Amino acid sequence: MFAKTILALAALAVAVKAVPSHSAVCSQGRRASSEACCVWFDVLDDIQENLFDGSQCGEETHESLRLTFHDAIGFSPALFRQGKFGGGGADGSIMHFADIETNFHANGGIDDIVETQRPFAIAHKVSFADFIQFAGAVGVSNCAGGPRLQFLAGRANTTQPSPDLLVPEPSDSTDAIFARFGDAGFSPAEVVALLASHSVAAQDHVDPTIPGTPFDSTPSSFDAQFFVETLLRGTLFPGNGSNVGEVLAPLGGEFRLFSDANIARDARTACEWQSFITDHGSMVRKFEAAMAKLATVGQNPRALTDCSEVIPVPKAVKLPAPTLPAGKTLEDIQAACAATPFPALRAAPGPATTVAPVPPS
Ligand code: HEM
């Protein structure tokens, strides 16, 4: 009896520890697990209104998500092993040393969002590294069907810029991309998961004559349409012809990166790619897991404070099932997964789909 009571008490203690206490009371009576998280509610209010134009999944959201990656991937254990500085990962260096890093070729156009975000981070006295990851997580929660990313706070300010050539280029081979991600700690399957980000994305600088040209037909939805449309046979260039890192796209007004086209068809990743078409839940979960890793590259997550409760819960929306764009049939799909047949998709009705640009805000 005594032993049973002790066991029950121990179980209760574990259960109590597992439930976040939400002991800190922050602005507007909101509760957080730690006092250190309170500032992030104020940042949240500010950026939803003044950076994301009232919680939109528009251009600033897309750019903020891209920025999380371009800061974090600046980390190379291989360089450290050679006795060189390999970068600090998700350390805010892209904002601290913007004069250096935004000039790296792979960071083309990232200076806009770096300079748009900077005053927010300064006004709220939070580190650039934390701000970049927070803004990306809040932004993508605004996209229909979006994830709720983990957010850990407490990254210190950095003192050194990342070395150049650590951010993958769209013209890189799949081998080079997998090797670069592998060096930073990511498997090819995790690269596929991270590329769900390209479902809410557009290009401005690969072909600068057509800024805002999206990678899929639904750039405000974190849906699987990107994973379908990248497998369609390419037929046209949406802008002034082929640019470095660009390949033929399947739809008017849509842009296809050489890297996305190849990863969709590579034997190492084709089945993972195709699997997301019929399993949005898995796409979101795997993206959340890979992003939790990305946001802490080069950091010790155990030294950070979990403030995930500040990240908004994305609105529950029922996304339409992925379709073949109007005018396309299964014959246009270049299925590349040897193990599983391409799923039967409904074709959207009406005249051939063309895609509208993402408006600048
Ligand atoms: C294989 C690695 C990757 C390559 C080669 C790549 C390349 C690119 C390129 C060339 C653009 C267009 C930039 C422009 O012209 O404005 C872009 C946009 C974007 N990328 Fe990636 N990317 C990769 C991985 C990622 C990852 C891991 C993330 C985030 C987790 C990400 C998020 C985005 C987003 C959100 C945009 C849209 C930005 C906007 O609409 O303004 N990318 N990417």
- For residue 281, the domain's CATH number is 1.10.520.10
CA separation (Å) from 173 to 3, 65, 261, 264? 62, 23, 11, 13
Q: What is the pLDDT of residue 215?
A: 98
Specify if 268 maps to a domain. yes
As annotated, the binding site includes 71, 89, 91, 93, 198-199, 216, 218, 223
Q: What is the pLDDT of residue 361?
A: 76
- Ligand 1 nearest atom to the CA of residue 212, by list position: 40
**Domain tally, the chain:** 1
Q: Atom 25 (ligand 1): residue with closest C-alpha?
A: 195
- CA 223 – CA 197 distance, rounded (Å): 10
Active-site positions read 70
Q: What is the pLDDT of residue 22?
A: 75
Q: Atom 42 (ligand 1): residue with closest C-alpha?
A: 66
Specify if 10 maps to a domain. no
Q: What is the pLDDT of residue 10?
A: 42
Q: What is the pLDDT of residue 237?
A: 98
Q: What is the pLDDT of residue 157?
A: 87
Specify if 27 maps to a domain. no
- CA 51 – CA 112 distance, rounded (Å): 12
Q: Atom 13 (ligand 1): residue with closest C-alpha?
A: 203
Domain that holds residue 259: 36-347
Ligand 1 center to residue 33 CA distance, Å? 33
Return the structure tokens found at 189: 């399957």
- Ligand 1 nearest atom to the CA of residue 169, by list position: 5
Q: What is the pLDDT of residues 239-283, one digit of tens each?
A: 999 999 999 999 999 999 999 999 999 999 999 999 999 999 999
Specify if 6 maps to a domain. no
- CA 333 – CA 335 distance, rounded (Å): 6
CB 307 within 8 A of CB 153: yes
Q: At what angle do helices 280-294 and 59-72 cross, to 10 degrees?
A: 50
Specify if 333 maps to a domain. yes
Return the structure tokens found at 18: 């597992």
- CA 304 – CA 344 distance, rounded (Å): 45
Ligand 1 center to residue 198 CA distance, Å? 6
Q: Atom 7 (ligand 1): residue with closest C-alpha?
A: 170
Ligand 1 center to residue 34 CA distance, Å? 33
Half-sphere exposure in the Cβ direction for 52 (13 Å, CA) = 26
CB 272 within 8 A of CB 224: no
Q: Could you list the mean pLDDT of each consecutive 10-residue stretch along the chain, which spans 361 residues?
A: 42 42 89 96 98 97 98 98 98 98 98 98 98 98 98 95 98 98 98 98 98 97 98 97 97 98 98 98 98 98 98 95 96 98 95 92 76
Q: Cβ < 6 Å from ligand 1: which residues? A: 59, 62-63, 65-66, 69, 109, 168-170, 177, 194-195, 197-198, 200-206, 245, 257, 259
Half-sphere exposure in the Cβ direction for 57 (13 Å, CA) = 23
Ligand 1 center to residue 66 CA distance, Å? 5
Specify if 15 maps to a domain. no
